[in-house]
Amino acid sequence: MNFKRNILITGGAGFIGSHVVRLFVRKYPDYRIINLDKLTYAGNLANLEDIEQEPNYCFVKADICDFERIYALMQEYRIDGIIHLAAESHVDRSIKDPFTFARTNVMGTLSLLQAAKLYWESLPEKFEGKRFYHISTDEVYGALELTHPEGIEPPFTTTASSSEHHQAYGTDFFYEDTKYNPHSPYSAAKASSDHFVRAYHDTYGLPTIVTNCSNNYGPYQFPEKLIPLFINNIRHRKPLPVYGKGENVRDWLYVEDHARAIDLIFHEGKTAETYNIGGFNEWKNIDLIKVIIATVDRLLGNAEGASLDLITYVTDRAGHDLRYAIDSTKLQKELGWEPSLQFEEGIEKTVRWYLDNQPWMDRITSGEYEKYYEEMYKGR
Ligand code: NAD
Ligand code: DAU
């Protein structure tokens, strides 16, 4: 079959990547979607069971750091667009093992950039009609102050343009031109990869685009991250390890809204531009945790507040960024994107999904991950 486009999505077996792959496979039957993933601990093909038989989907197990292999795959599949999500993504792991983060996030991105450049330059039309889209994070911008540390009290209502959570904890935001100031090995490695992507545009003319997104939540997230970890722990009546005083603030976006933004920007974003993507939805960790507890208890039929006693304050994460808050006005104004889900709906959907998909969770949390988790919280 002759496909209109051949799109390489890296990290498609991970959390966000699996939502992007699913969206593209279903929405664009005339595109061939090549999901390239190394299947690290975070990669899980069970995330894609519902689309793996589709005729426009294929999976390739490969390491983005393997330049020769990537270059050969670019030729074999005649790749004309790349959406690059593969990365080591967990801040706590980066504190324990920074080398792996530098290797994958920096060298892996460089290997993809060079393979794309060489392959596309070898074609008669060169960079015409090509796109290298790099998915990055708001963490590269560093941390913001809590200028209203008391914030606001739940319950809240949230819409994209008028959210009580917009400016809830401070009036300053990350903008596209905010200076990079990463603090963790994870964000330092992501920042470095962003610089390489922009350098490939400025030096060689590679048609790149970069987006920086806030915290995602939703189905298929690996349960080392706050929301799925806590949902699973509540279900099993395990302690909920709150770092520090639980006062750090994050801006949460439902993962399918991020995937929609990626689709829009891949097709309509301007080459060499940066777009911030965020939910206008800031939450202090401890408030968010209480919402998760209330939702899980309600859906499990537990008495109200039954799981509050699981909250356990533990030693803070080293270098823990206090507040992230993305301003995504540029994306709203230029491309008309906005989050579709109110936070309450998103959390309800997310909790239900994890409770209804316990076998998915059990497969991940048995064995190696359990051991890692015990090690991580030893002494905290
Ligand atoms: P994830 O950890 O769930 O998935 C990462 C995927 O990359 C996994 O499938 C893994 O197997 C694959 N991978 C890792 N190393 C690889 C390698 N060397 N070669 C090929 N594949 C490899 O991550 P996620 O949360 O889905 O994040 C995806 C991307 O989005 C990352 O680049 C991350 O920095 C960025 N991001 C994440 C968030 C968030 O809240 N999760 C927010 C903003 C940006
Ligand atoms: O902002 C975007 C980033 O969001 C992405 O780039 C990262 O890939 C993604 O992992 C996420 O980073 P965070 O460090 O913000 O996410 P995490 O779920 O690990 O933690 C969210 C907040 O909750 C953070 O302030 C740390 C805190 N936390 C986390 C865990 C896992 C706890 O208090 N206890 C926990 O057990």
Of the listed ligands, the closest to the CA of 285 is 2
Q: Does residue 58 contact residue 33 with C-beta atoms inside 8 Å?
A: yes
pLDDT score, position 155: 41
Compute the distance from residue 91 Cα to the ligand 2 centre, in Å.
7
139 has catalytic annotation: yes
**Which of 69, 65, 86, 87 has the alpha carbon at shortest distance from 77?**
69
Instruction: Name the pairing type of β-strands 57-61 and 249-254.
Output: unpaired
Ligand 1: which residues within 6 Å by Cβ? Answer: 10-11, 13-17, 37-40, 42-43, 63-65, 85-89, 104, 108, 135, 137, 190, 213, 215-216, 222
Above 60 in pLDDT, residue 61? Answer: yes
pLDDT at 152: 56
Q: Which residue reads 């796109």 in tokens? A: 131
The pLDDT tens digits of the residues spanning 163-220 come to: 455 566 777 899 999 999 999 999 999 999 999 999 999 999 999 999 999 999 999 9
- The CB of 187 under 6 Å from ligand 2? The reply is no
Nearest atom (ligand 1) to Cα of 186: 34
The answer, yes or no, to whether residue 353 has pLDDT greater than 80, is: yes
In testing the pocket of ligand 2, which one of 16, 135, 226 has its CB within 8 Å of the most ligand atoms?
226
Residue scoring higher pLDDT (283 or 209): 209
310 CA from centroid of ligand 2 (Å): 19
The proportion of the chain whose per-residue pLDDT surpasses 70, expressed as a percent, equals 91
| pLDDT tens string 124-152 | 999 999 999 999 999 999 999 887 656 55
Of 152, 82, 85, 142, nearest in space to 115 by CA: 82
What does residue 239 show for φ and ψ, rounded to 5 degrees?
Answer: -60, 150
DSSP string, 196-228: HHHHHHHHH---EEEEEE-EEESTT--TTSHHH
Instruction: Report in angstroms the alpha-carbon separations of 252 from 48, 74, 299, 349, 351.
Output: 23, 34, 22, 14, 15
Q: Which pair of structure tokens corresponds to residue 215? A: 């915290």
The candidate with the shortest Cα–Cα distance to 312, out of 375, 235, 234, is: 234
Tokens of 102: 């530098």
| Ligand 1 atom 4, closest CA | 14
- Examine the pLDDT at 29 and tell me if it is beyond 70: yes
**Which residues sit opposite 81 in a β-bridge?**
7, 131
- What letters, b where the CB count within 10 A reaches 16 and e where it falls short, cover 289-325? bbbbbbbbbebeeeeeebbeebbeeeeeeeeebbbbb
CB 286 within 8 Å of CB 226: no
Average pLDDT over the chain, rounded to an integer? 93
Maximum Cα–Cα distance across the chain: 67
Q: Which ligand is nearest to the CA of 84?
A: 1
Going along the chain, which residue ranges are E strands? 5-10, 31-37, 57-61, 81-84, 131-137, 208-213, 215-217, 240-243, 249-254, 274-277, 282-284, 311-314
Output the pLDDT for position 160: 39
Cβ neighbours around 177 below 10 Å, total? 7
Of 129, 177, 171, nearest to 273 by C-alpha is 177
Residue 57 has pLDDT above 90, yes or no: yes
For the segment 151-160, the average pLDDT, to the nearest whole number, is 46
Pick from 117, 114, 184: which is nearest to 324 by CA?
Answer: 184
Q: What is the pLDDT of residue 107?
A: 98
Tokens of 13: 């077996």
- The pTM (predicted TM-score) of the whole model is 0.96
Q: At what angle do helices 368-376 and 358-365 cross, to 10 degrees?
A: 70
